[in-house]
Amino acid sequence: MKAAVIRGEQQIEIEDVPTPEPGPDEVLIKIKYSGLCGSDVHRFQYGMAEPGSIMGHEFCGEIAAVGANVTEWKEGDRVVGGGGSNPDGIPRPTSGPRYSARTVGFKTPGWGGFAEYAVMDGWRPLKLPDNVSWETAVLAEPCAIAVHAVRRSAFRVGDQVVVLGAGPIGLLTQQVLQAGGARAVYVSEPAPARAEAARKLGATEVFDPVSEDVVSRVVELTDGLGAPLVFDCAAAKPTLQQGFEMVRRGGQVTVVSMAWEEVPLLTVEWIGREVEMKASYGAAPEDWQIVIGLMEQGKIESGPMIGKDSFIGFDQMQATLTRLMTPQDDIQSVLVP
Q: Interface with Zn ion by CB under 5 A: which residues? A: 37, 58
Q: Compute the distance between CA of residue 195 and CA of residue 96 in angstroms, rounded to an integer.
A: 36
Query: Smallest distance, Å, CB 168 to Zn ion?
Result: 8
Nearest partner of 256 among 164, 120, 138, 141, judged by Cα: 164
Query: Smallest distance, Å, CB 141 to Zn ion?
Result: 5
Nearer to Zn ion, 39 or 316 (CB): 39
Query: Smallest distance, Å, CB 28 to Zn ion?
Result: 22
Nearer to Zn ion, 42 or 217 (CB): 42
Query: Smallest distance, Å, CB 81 to Zn ion?
Result: 12
Nearer to Zn ion, 103 or 204 (CB): 103
Nearer to Zn ion, 172 or 221 (CB): 172
Nearer to Zn ion, 58 or 245 (CB): 58
3-state secondary structure of 115: strand
3-state secondary structure of 312: strand
CA distances from 99 to 93, 102, 108, 215, 240 (A): 10, 9, 16, 33, 22
Nearer to Zn ion, 58 or 135 (CB): 58
Q: In what order do the strands lie in the sheet with 276-279?
A: 205-207, 184-188, 160-164, 227-232, 247-255, 276-279
Nearest partner of 280 among 233, 239, 227, 246, judged by Cα: 233
Comparing every residue's Cβ against Zn ion, the nearest one is 37
Query: Smallest distance, Å, CB 49 to Zn ion?
Result: 14
CA distances from 227 to 184, 199, 234, 245, 258 (A): 10, 19, 17, 10, 22
